Homo-oligomer: A and B are copies of this chain.
């Protein structure tokens, strides 16, 4: 049995490891397009900031560990064509040769690529000019090179999603003066504006010039440096990062005849099977089953890629694993604040046929009398018709256990919880770390009181 995996990031590596776990006699070959298998691209901001001094630390597992697990790693092997009938993949090697790999089963984990907005200049300017995307280890090295080479003291970041926010912090920590430009009228478009506003304020308190509701029209380069031209004025910078989201990298799969799903993703079932025989796919290149919506969406997240990869790896070797689904659970740390969310917000919920209402509550992370208590802002979304819990969003201090507190809601939603169930949960309590009614429960009770459910 020869399992071939295209992709050496979260989904591909998880698939390969799961396959080897299931059948230690299986031959598993990973085609890794770059030289960085199994690196945590989520960790890129923390190497740029200096928090992680050595870039090799960003590897989830060392190459040695991967080899020890019995994976055949082929670095700088870029797949250029899949022949589903012949069960072969054509690959360009580091020597620019073209070779063919045969497979019994194939897993496609090609991931995502930066989605570039229509900005004048983006087609011609690049890393050599100090204009960067940031989605791979190679991109990171290019950014570091620009920072050094251009002795950058100012940066303009286009896009205030979680990577944009983390990079705003990272570059500020490095000593740069940062302008953060976002087209939508709030930072962090995956949380409600009510929580995004204090997050933007926090960025400003740390010196970031936050410009939301601002559309970038062009990027210009001249001897003086770079200028980001927007509909509300120009922002000069020594370096420009364009981090406006990603799109699935599916050219290879599409050319081979895999059926595509929402937003150009590879369509897979919950066993991570494509429509083509013996071909599976997983990670940021596929659509993701959403537990609450009971349909597929595009949710390119590392935590999901790991889980999908594992399912693909098990099933490729004859298993019957099933991807349980995502809730879009996310957390981001921005300086001293943490924002987190899970499930649906009003807009998505309404579109899915629910009758949602969101109630915001503020509650202390632990007993107010114990030193260090901080307020958490909690937005609970529930269905008015059924009382079902649909989602939650939290904003609070680092140290307030925001990340694992959102997971209480995520866990409950997975089981189809009602909002009322949350207050009944037997959650832990000790004054330095909680309250007899945990903040998560106080927020649920407030939702009940506001809705009479």
A383 within 8 A of B: no
Closest residue of B by beta carbon distance from A60: B436
- Inter-chain CA distance A114–B342, complex, in Å, is 43
- Say whether, besides A369-B43, A426-B325, A428-B403, A436 and B302 are in contact (CB < 8 Å): yes
Partner of A428, one of B43, B307, B330, B368: B330
A161 within 8 A of B: no
Q: Which residues of the partner chain B approach A40 to less than 8 Å between Cβ atoms?
A: 367, 369, 431
A318 within 8 A of B: no
A102 within 8 A of B: no
- Inter-chain CA distance A10–B415, complex, in Å, is 30
B43→A367 contact, CB < 8 A: yes
Partner of A407, one of B328, B340, B404: B404
A301 within 8 A of B: yes
A428→B329 contact, CB < 8 A: yes
A431→B331 contact, CB < 8 A: no
A52 within 8 A of B: yes
B43→A429 contact, CB < 8 A: no
A369→B46 contact, CB < 8 A: yes
User: What sequence of 0s and 1s flags, for each residue 412-432 of chain A, a beta carbon within 8 Å of any chain B beta carbon?
Assistant: 101101000101111111111
Partner of A408, one of B60, B303, B411: B411
Q: Which residues of the partner chain B approach A437 to less than 8 Å between Cβ atoms?
A: 303, 306
Q: Which residues of the partner chain B approach A60 to less than 8 Å between Cβ atoms?
A: 436
B426→A302 contact, CB < 8 A: no
A386 CB to nearest chain B CB (Å): 17
Q: Which residues of the partner chain B approach A196 to less than 8 Å between Cβ atoms?
A: none
A425→B403 contact, CB < 8 A: no
B338→A426 contact, CB < 8 A: no
Q: Which residues of the partner chain B approach A406 to less than 8 Å between Cβ atoms?
A: 428
B46→A326 contact, CB < 8 A: no
B58→A369 contact, CB < 8 A: yes
| Interface residues in A64-109 (C-beta closer than 8 Å to B) | none
A160 within 8 A of B: no
- Say whether, besides A401-B403, A411-B412, A432 and B46 are in contact (CB < 8 Å): yes
Closest residue of B by beta carbon distance from A413: B426
Q: Which residues of the partner chain B approach A57 to less than 8 Å between Cβ atoms?
A: 368-369
Partner of A410, one of B398, B414, B426: B426
A446 CB to nearest chain B CB (Å): 12
Partner of A326, one of B338, B402, B426: B426
Q: Which residues of the partner chain B approach A369 to less than 8 Å between Cβ atoms?
A: 40, 43, 46, 52, 57-58
Q: Which of A331, A371, A403, A438 has the most CB of B within 10 A?
A: A403
Q: Which of A291, A305, A307 has the most CB of B within 10 A?
A: A307
- Inter-chain CA distance A431–B403, complex, in Å, is 11
User: What sequence of 0s and 1s flags, for each residue 310-328 of chain A, a beta carbon within 8 Å of any chain B beta carbon?
Assistant: 0000000000000011111
- Inter-chain CA distance A329–B43, complex, in Å, is 34
B426→A414 contact, CB < 8 A: yes
- Say whether, besides A43-B370, A324-B424, A424-B307, A331 and B407 are in contact (CB < 8 Å): no
A144 within 8 A of B: no
A405 within 8 A of B: yes
- Inter-chain CA distance A421–B414, complex, in Å, is 10
A427→B303 contact, CB < 8 A: yes
- Say whether, besides A407-B428, A426-B325, A46 and B370 are in contact (CB < 8 Å): yes
- Inter-chain CA distance A10–B437, complex, in Å, is 11
A40 CB to nearest chain B CB (Å): 6
- Say whether, besides A51-B371, A411-B412, A432 and B333 are in contact (CB < 8 Å): yes
A262 within 8 A of B: no
| Interface residues in A362-381 (C-beta closer than 8 Å to B) | 367-371
A434→B331 contact, CB < 8 A: yes
Q: Which residues of the partner chain B approach A414 to less than 8 Å between Cβ atoms?
A: 421, 424-426
| 7 pairs, A vs B, C-beta closer than 8 Å | A301-B429, A303-B426, A306-B437, A331-B433, A401-B403, A407-B438, A414-B425
Other A-B pairs, 10, CB within 8 Å; known A333-B433, A402-B433: A40-B369, A46-B370, A303-B428, A305-B436, A324-B425, A329-B427, A403-B430, A404-B434, A406-B428, A407-B408
The 10 A-B residue pairs whose C-beta atoms are closest, nearest first, are: A324-B424, A415-B415, A404-B404, A331-B428, A57-B369, A403-B433, A401-B404, A303-B429, A411-B411, A306-B436
